[in-house]
């Protein structure tokens, strides 16, 4: 199969592209190499994919010539590209243009792909709102520009399923961690602070937040399992993550255990829109995809520390 992966130089997109290539598919990666975070990390991911045989296009989904530039003979599209996370440095326009306009442009291109079997939108638990513990039919209450625009992107995608114009689904991911995690995210930042003897900036009260910290390999297991199941997943929203909950404090202590040091903490102001609790309800994923994440928090942290040491020390 020929598969297009957007956001392929990013964290989860790069792992997915790599897995699909390893499974024997012909993978085309697309990324705009945004400077939202370190281009050094994106280039590391990019090189790893090229070494695996993934071809690459440097392209922004907000451009109006996608139909002229992208290949028309793809069988699957996995859409990871987005303005990610909750950040005071990102404007509403950043979220709107990347997550809504970019997705709309990609859908318009997808409609020109005559052999397309499935369009897979990558959603987020942030769509649910401040607490994300619900099944997929629960009414979303996003509490951030990120969550609002990712919900819009999801609905733009599923609209085409309802109109019978293409088969599509949306996978809502929960608190993904592991190698290649972005530098501003919790575990990479904790590990960096530990190795560099710097204080970790902890938002006030967030040490008690509950999360479904899910290893990226377990997430990718679920993502790639939709291949060949387009008739089953068409029009569906599916949660992917672990049912095991940990507090942020548990995460801090796991990193400290692996590094064998105590990390200094600098408490900073609360962050608006930050989720209080995520716990993946994966009954639907178990039923449709036989999904069963197994990696523990400590195993995930060990893998991420190993990756960090190999690439940044």
Give the residue numbers marked as catalytic.
146
DSSP H or E stretch at residue 288: helix 283-289
Domains of the chain: 2-174+214-242+284-289 (3.40.50.720), 186-209+244-280+294-312 (3.90.25.10)
**pTM here?**
0.96
pLDDT in tens, the chain (313 residues): 999 999 999 999 999 999 999 999 999 999 999 988 888 999 999 999 999 999 999 999 999 999 999 999 999 999 999 998 777 678 999 999 999 999 999 999 999 999 999 999 999 999 999 999 999 999 999 999 999 999 999 999 999 999 999 999 999 999 999 999 999 999 999 999 999 999 999 999 899 999 999 999 999 999 999 999 999 999 999 999 999 999 999 999 999 999 999 999 999 988 777 888 999 999 999 999 999 999 999 999 999 999 999 999 8
DSSP type of residue 101: I
d(CA 273, CA 103): 23
Question: How many other C-beta atoms can be found within 10 angstroms of the C-beta atom of residue 1?
Answer: 15
CA nearest to 286, candidates 252, 235, 238, 251: 238
């Amino acid at each position: 199969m020929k598969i297009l992966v957007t956001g392929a130089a990013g964290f989860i997109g790069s792992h997915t592209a790599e897995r699909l290539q390893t499974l024997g598919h012909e993978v085309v990666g697309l990324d705009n190499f945004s400077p939202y975070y370190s281009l050094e990390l994106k280039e590391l991911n990019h090189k790893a994919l090229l070494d695996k045989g993934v071809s690459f296009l440097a392209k922004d989904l907000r451009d109006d010539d996608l139909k002229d530039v992208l290949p028309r003979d793809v069988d699957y599209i996995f859409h990871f590209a987005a303005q990610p996370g909750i950040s005071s440095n990102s404007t509403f326009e950043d979220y709107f243009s990347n997550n809504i306009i970019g997705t709309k442009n990609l859908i318009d291109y997808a409609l020109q792909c005559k052999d397309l079997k499935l369009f897979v939108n990558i959603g987020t638990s942030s769509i649910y709102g401040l607490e994300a513990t619900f099944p997929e039919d629960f009414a979303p209450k996003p509490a951030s520009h990120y969550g609002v625009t990712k919900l819009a992107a999801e609905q733009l995608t599923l609209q085409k399923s309802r109109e019978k114009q293409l088969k599509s689904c949306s996978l809502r991911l929960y608190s993904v961690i592991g190698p290649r995690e972005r530098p501003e995210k919790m575990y990479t930042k904790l590990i960096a602070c530990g190795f560099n003897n710097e204080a970790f900036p902890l938002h006030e009260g967030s040490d008690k937040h509950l999360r479904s910290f899910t290893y990226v390999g377990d997430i990718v297991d679920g993502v790639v399992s939709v291949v060949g199941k387009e008739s089953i997943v068409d029009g569906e929203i599916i949660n992917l993550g672990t049912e095991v909950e940990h507090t942020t404090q548990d995460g801090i202590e796991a990193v400290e255990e692996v590094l064998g040091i105590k990390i200094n903490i600098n408490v900073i102001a609360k962050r608006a829109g930050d989720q209080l609790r995520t716990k993946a309800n994966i009954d639907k994923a178990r039923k449709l995809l036989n999904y069963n994440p197994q990696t523990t928090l400590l195993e995930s942290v060990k893998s991420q520390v190993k990756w960090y040491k190999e690439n940044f020390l």
